[in-house]
Structure 1
């Protein structure tokens, strides 16, 4: 595998490089645009978007899927007053040719960050921590930790080296993708490098930041991060199919996930790879119904005080036109939320306040197309048709 491709961070991030998965002809859409997303258990009396718009969305999604070499795609779009659209197309398994359906569980990669930061912000509301506390107050051994605040970690402006960019980490993970990593183990890969910038001066997407925030949550609460997120975030949000795995558990049904992030560069089935290395930055699992609900919860601050939500949404430039980043959340041309990428899977979960619209995309590959994430290509194609004044462009790429 090319060195540049191997250094693109294995995911749980917004970022990837470029190799296509070879996919043979897949079946056409297996679920029609549905009123209410009945397959997901939701009810939506608004109905579908109408035959013309539905046909345009069908064509755009299928064209993008084929051009980007995506095995299977699930798209959900809900727009009050205009209707709903839920579609599954392609295959969940490239060997058996089992069709993709609208109700599988998937790994959500970096969307985990929205859950971790929500748990952190609930502690802010409880007055148990302050965003401007230094990380050194809670975690020892962080380079220049006395100058780096929790806010800067959540904003991706800490200046700490991303452990997923360390060559030894990449080699160790890809040599044994079923290995269990502890948070301290992954941080050690990053801490042996000098900080990349002074705190607060530059946006740099880094899983190191979120692993540290996970440790803060555990330190303050005295409980495992998975338990805190379940009790303080998942349950209050009314999510029934979302979990923070303790190991390699992956509920059924789920599609097989395919990645080109291997030592040889060959495409591999990453379905059962251990997500422990991503932990607070990218280990979680969810489904379409829950992500639809979560998009509005996180974007509107339903679990937070108005003051804390306002701080969360105070986004700053990323250096990439059209996209700004707040506290574990981004804004791109009006859409608020996050995307996720982890070997084998990508997702997008965003909410457009101006139209109270929700978009969720789930796919079973993270291999890029012409250097772009396939989930971004899909989200852009869908929004160009459905919300042409607010075209999604959440592609933040690595240096």
Structure 2
């Protein structure tokens, strides 16, 4: 029964993937199979829009000390813009190209949740199973369920805050997820299921639970449930051995305080890194086109009728101080009508969002991870706001929608989080 269900899902997903790939490439093709999402029109976005988008990315590059960035923006009714900006290093003339692989940081989280929901459908685990059922070393977490871990409502503390300096000192070290999770489990926790708590510990435990239940590794499970059904070749969860995120790879850097004080021109190289520290929280890799395909497919699955699919229907506010339209569920943030993620891992700041109603998709990576991870999320939202007002090409119809923020709002937030000098004259 398990293989029959999976085969049926794979056939359907492959058909959808073919349509998404055509749409995101900007090429002409047949009807897209994504419900409620118009077919991507061919061609680039208007020149003035591209200029605004490039300016926004370059502003964020300066704010983070990044020598390079890769960005993809796909607007179904107007066109697309996919570009590599800058160079592979501050002292290099080698341009960044769009085929370079990078670490997708917290976009790994929804992939881990995809595995969870696939295994639930296959009858291997239940959403409300206790994590202690599958991770025997956590008997005190009997009230924490797999659903809580995916929804980031486990109440558990963060692990990376405690260990990140160790990772920066020894990037090639291989970590056991239990060792990383222990740092978060040792912190004060709150009641499960009550509120959003941004816990990498929860996603590490979820990965451990799923591979124990399936008796397969998480890299294999992500291939099985996520990347193979979508036909993704450069996307996945690497093994523990230290390596670059792909070939070719976008080099990744980190500016320590001394480099920031000196103007962010000589950061340390973290291109070669063990993904074991991030594991099922932030260890994934991809390319810009494939990340765009995955994010668009995720948004399409999040829509059901006039509302969100059950996986996202129980969303909780990100905080008591955040805007009412900013929530979290199912491994993603929900920002108005868009869902996605933003995050950091040594060398990279990555964010991707897609609109569940109309398919507008943005994805971006910056190659210096020293700034707060929120900054790259601000950039993604700025890019989305810029293109949300783009008129439709002749013969197409722009959807009637609006985002609850402006490009100027998030442009300023990027500046406010800057850790490196921004040339005001270039503004």
**Structure-1-length-normalised TM-score:** 0.80
Q: Which residue of 2 aligns with 1:33?
A: none
Identify which of 332, 336, 339 aligns with 1:333. 336
Residue 297 of structure 2 is matched in structure 1 by 297
Measure, in 2, the Cα distance between the counterparts of 1:231 and 1:248: 23
- 2:247 is paired with a residue of what secondary structure? coil
How far residue 312 of structure 1 moved from its aligned partner, in angstroms, is: 3.3
Deviations 1:242-289 (A, max 9, x none): 121112233211121111368998832111122211111111110011
Number of residue pairs the alignment of both structures matches: 353
* Partner SS state of residue 212, structure 1: helix
> Displacement of 1:73 after TM fit?
1.6
What corresponds to 1:238 in structure 2?
231
Query: Could you say if the C-alpha distance between residues 176 and 50 of structure 1 is closer, same or farther in structure 2, counting changes exceeding 3 Å?
Result: closer
Structure 1 residue 51 displacement after superposition: 2.4
Q: Are 1:248 and 2:247 matched, yes or no?
A: no
1:183–1:301: structure 2 CA closer, same or farther, 3 Å change rule?
same
Structure 2 match to 1:260: 255
Which sections of structure 2, spanning at least 5 residues, go unmatched? 1-19, 29-40, 261-265, 390-401, 418-427
The alignment status of 1:43 with 2:37, answered yes or no, reads: no
Partner of 1:385: 386
Pick aligned residue for 1:107 from 86, 103, 108: 103
> Which aligned pairs between 1:368-383 and structure 2 lie closer than 5 A?
368=371, 373-383=374-384
Structure 2 Cα separation of the partners of residues 186 and 150 of structure 1: 18
Are residue 90 (structure 1) and residue 86 (structure 2) matched? yes
1:358-373 matches, within 5 Å, as 358-368=361-371, 373=374
For residues 262 and 138 of structure 1, the distance between their equivalents in structure 2, rounded to whole angstroms, comes to 41
Change (3 A) 1:61 1:264: closer
Where is the helix percentage greater, Structure 1 or Structure 2?
2
- Residues 195, 316 of structure 2: 8 Å contact kept: no
- The alpha carbon displacement at 1:224 in A equals 0.8
Q: Deviations over 1:104-159 (max 9, x none)?
A: 10011111111111001101111221111111111123263111111111111112
For residues 71 and 111 of structure 1, the distance between their equivalents in structure 2, rounded to whole angstroms, comes to 22
**Kept in 1: contact 2:348–2:368 (CA 8 A):** yes
- Alignment RMSD: 3.1
Q: TM-score, normalised by structure 2?
A: 0.75
Aligned pair in 2 of structure 1 residues 42, 84: CA closer, same or farther (>3 Å)? closer
Q: In structure 1, list runs of 5 or more residues that go unmatched.
A: 1-35
Alignment partner of 1:347 is 2:350: yes
Query: How far apart, in 1, do the equivalents of 2:145 and 2:258 lie?
Result: 36
1:80 to 76, 91, 96: 76
Q: Compute the displacement of 1:210 (Å).
A: 0.6
